[in-house]
Amino acid sequence: MTRRVLTSVLSVVAICCLAGAMATAVALDRIRGDGLKEEELYLPSGAVLKRLSLGYNGLLADIYWTRAVQYFGDLHHEKAMRYRLLYPLLDITAQLDPHLIVTYEFGSIFLSQAPPEGAGEPQNAVKLVERGIRENPKAWRLWADLGYIQAMELHDYKAASKSFQMGAQIPGARPWMSVMAAAMAEHGGEPATAHYLWTRLLENSEDTMLKQNAANHLRALQVDDDIQRLEAAVAEYRRRTSQQPQNFSQLISAGLLREMPADPLGRPYTLSPDGRVYVQNPSDMPFITRGIPPGMKPAIVPQTF
């Protein structure tokens, strides 16, 4: 056998065997299935991980942050109702790199909102943001995040007012922080306050995902307000005529509406025979609390992650 032939044979054997090994690995992965990929954190302590990182904790924090985002994204995509490892992952990330602000900003949103939009763990979200505030005393936005969780998820408007007030005192904080502090103290639970909060967050966020989230909340507030107004008009029609309206045109003819009502995405609302008003597609309307057709689940946040 000449040297040239030997080289060719060995090259072919090597390439074929490598391809075969890769194919076998794919098969092995299928056999093992998801059952073996248990949802566990092998090292649950951020402090230990930081020591083991040999000073390269910054990179490890980035890896853990990415892991947290992927974990949330995967479960969110499956419309999961439980995110068991989300807080531990975020906590480890924060311990590895206490100055990674995104961990607190985004992590608190992932944690605080009720399932399936989030993990439904507002208390853990508060703990996470409070850690962020301790580690980054100049980051006034974290006070806004804390105030948002306290107001929107925990309905503790007194605490929220205090948080906005604390944030407002930090140099560089936007003037609306003081306005929010006052609004929370006086009109905490009112939709107008929520509207003001989401509008400010929409205007002041630099990130597309945060803007999208604020826009979704503003749309939901609009829908909730529309449904309440339309159902009041239906009730008024019933009071005047002692009949249920069959469509919105009758309400327009009666002078109770000016035009055909549509949701913020431009799709007409539907009027049921029993006088209830619904949105056409609640899956496009995250966070709405009214107008969800019977049998349909509350909306899921659009796939932004």
Token pair, residue 274, equals: 């029993």
Site track 208-227 with another protein (rule: CB under 8 A), x = hit: -x------------------
Site membership for another protein, residue 106 (CB under 8 A): yes
Residue 181 half-sphere exposure toward CB, CA atoms < 13 A: 15
| Shortest Å distance, C-beta 67 to another protein | 10
Please state, in angstroms and as integers, the Cα–Cα distance from residue 143 to each residue in 25, 37, 49, 192, 194, following that order: 49, 38, 28, 21, 16
- Identify whether the C-beta of residue 211 lies closer than 8 Å to the C-beta of residue 205: yes
Write down the residue that tokens 């075969």 correspond to. Answer: 20
| Nearer CB in complex with another protein: 15/52 | 52
Please state, in angstroms and as integers, the Cα–Cα distance from residue 233 to each residue in 66, 249, 294, following that order: 49, 12, 21
Please count the other Cβ atoms lying within 10 Å of the Cβ belonging to residue 14.
10
| 84, 115, 195, 305: which one binds another protein (CB under 8 A) | 305
Closest to 151 in 3D by CA, of 116, 201, 194: 194
| Nearer CB in complex with another protein: 2/208 | 208
| Shortest Å distance, C-beta 61 to another protein | 8
Site membership for another protein, residue 134 (CB under 8 A): no
Distance CA 52, CA 46 (A): 10
Site membership for another protein, residue 240 (CB under 8 A): no
Distance CA 301, CA 305 (A): 10
Site membership for another protein, residue 130 (CB under 8 A): no
- Identify whether the C-beta of residue 133 lies closer than 8 Å to the C-beta of residue 105: no
Site membership for another protein, residue 57 (CB under 8 A): yes
Site membership for another protein, residue 48 (CB under 8 A): no
Site track 135-174 with another protein (rule: CB under 8 A), x = hit: ----------------------------------------
| Nearer CB in complex with another protein: 126/210 | 210
| 21, 26, 34, 55: which one binds another protein (CB under 8 A) | 55
Chain residues 272-291 in contact with another protein, contact rule CB under 8 A: none
Torsion of CA 262, 282, 191, 228, to 10 degrees: 50
- Identify whether the C-beta of residue 160 lies closer than 8 Å to the C-beta of residue 184: yes
Chain residues 63-82 in contact with another protein, contact rule CB under 8 A: 65-66, 69-70
| Shortest Å distance, C-beta 99 to another protein | 5
Residues that bind another protein (CB under 8 A): 51, 54-59, 61-62, 65-66, 69-70, 97, 99-100, 102, 106, 207, 209, 305
